[in-house]
Amino acid sequence: MKLGYMGTPEISGELLKALIQDGYEIQYVVSNPDRPRGRSGTPQPSAVSTVALENDLTLFRPEKPAEILDQLLSIQVDAVVVFAYGSILPAGFLKLGRLGIFNLHGSLLPELRGASPIQSAILQGMETTGWSFQFVSQKMDCGDVVAEKKLEIGPDETAQELTERMVPAGIELVLQTLPELKSLISGAKKQDESAATYCRKILPEQSYIDWSQPAQEIHNQIRGMNPRPVARTQLDGKLFKIYRSRLLESSELRTLQDEKQLMARAPGDLLSFRLDGSPALLVITGENQVLQILSLQPQNKKQMDAVSFLNGHKVHPDQRFVVPAEI
């Protein structure tokens, strides 16, 4: 089977490698242009471009996809696979491929159309997600779904962990779908527009924690912002990044209440307490709930677990995590 391929980041490079290893004839690869990286600012090829170059594949790196459309139309392929390309495709690209042009999207469409489906699934507290292999359409992520794969989301799973678990499942879905593509196309299902939801690119300013929110919502924010841009807060004028947290068990909350640890507390207040014999860093949240911080990074210091932080930092009763005034 002859394929065209479009993608840019490392996760897309993994799919391209799998297609090559599975024996597909990759007639061309399209990726974003080389971008400056590192301290030197020297332009470097994307992960997908690197895979293409290592395998001597025809590679296009246009600033605008429309620049190469005529060239791509002249190359005969059975299908084009798109995964995390990173640019909007002009309508003319819908003509590519004898069977069509298809996109691998990281959600069960029509849920979470857009740029951040994996992170957004966690931010919204969803318990299931998955992959959709769909026709590329003129409207973003609105094409008919050819195949899909469902996955559960762990209650404490971060976006990085979920991505690492999802990528092999997404690759497996594509490798299972392509041999049956011609027959599966006839059964492709239209998306229910009334059930569509959307997600945008996650911006750094969305990472600041509002401690007046319930503990579950903050826990989801911390999970969804890991590894980037990382949930953050401020303590005594210094920035703190929060990487991991844990929701307390009912019995642990009762212990805190019995010992009157939650009296006269406000959202963001820090509390040092022993849970199961070990020191724990706790934060009061909205609705007088409590969230345990497991991993954090004080400004100008390395990431550390909360026990290490408590060993070098005495928590005072008046200390409180806050949102910086300029946010």
**pLDDT in the model for residue 97:** 98
How do the domains of the chain map onto residue ranges? 2-199, 204-312
Q: Which of 286, 270, 283, 271 is nearest to 212 (CA)?
A: 286
Three-state DSSP state, 219: helix
Higher pLDDT pick, 37 / 55: 55
pLDDT digits (tens, 9 = 90+) for 16-42: 999 999 999 999 999 999 999 888 889
How many residues are recorded in the chain?
327
pTM across the whole model: 0.94
Q: Which residue has the tokens 């998955």?
A: 130
45 — pLDDT class (breaks 50, 70, 90): very high
pLDDT digits (tens, 9 = 90+) for 274-305: 888 889 999 999 998 999 999 999 999 999 99
Report how far apart, in Å, the C-alpha atoms of 81 and of each of 12, 94, 137, 172, 244 are. 10, 12, 13, 14, 35
pLDDT at 318 over 90: no
pLDDT digits (tens, 9 = 90+) for 180-202: 999 999 999 999 999 999 999 99
**Whole-number average pLDDT of the chain:** 95
Q: Which of 163, 303, 170, 168 is nearest to 231 (CA)?
A: 303
Q: Let me know: does 290 contact 256? Beta carbons within 8 Å.
A: yes
240 DSSP β-pair partners: 233, 298
b/e burial code for range 257-280 (CB count within 10 A of at least 16 → b): eeeeebeebebbbbbbbeeeeeeb
Q: Let me know: does 198 contact 191? Beta carbons within 8 Å.
A: no
pLDDT at 69 over 90: yes
The CATH classification of domain 2-199, taken from the options 3.40.50.2300, 3.90.1310.10, 3.40.50.170, 3.30.930.10: 3.40.50.170
Q: Which of 93, 192, 179 is nearest to 145 (CA)?
A: 192
Mean pLDDT, rounded, for 77-90: 96
**pLDDT in the model for residue 180:** 98
Report how far apart, in Å, the C-alpha atoms of 294 and of each of 156, 222, 250, 291, 320 are. 11, 11, 18, 10, 17
The CATH classification of domain 204-312, taken from the options 3.40.50.11820, 3.10.25.10, 3.40.1390.10, 3.30.565.10: 3.10.25.10
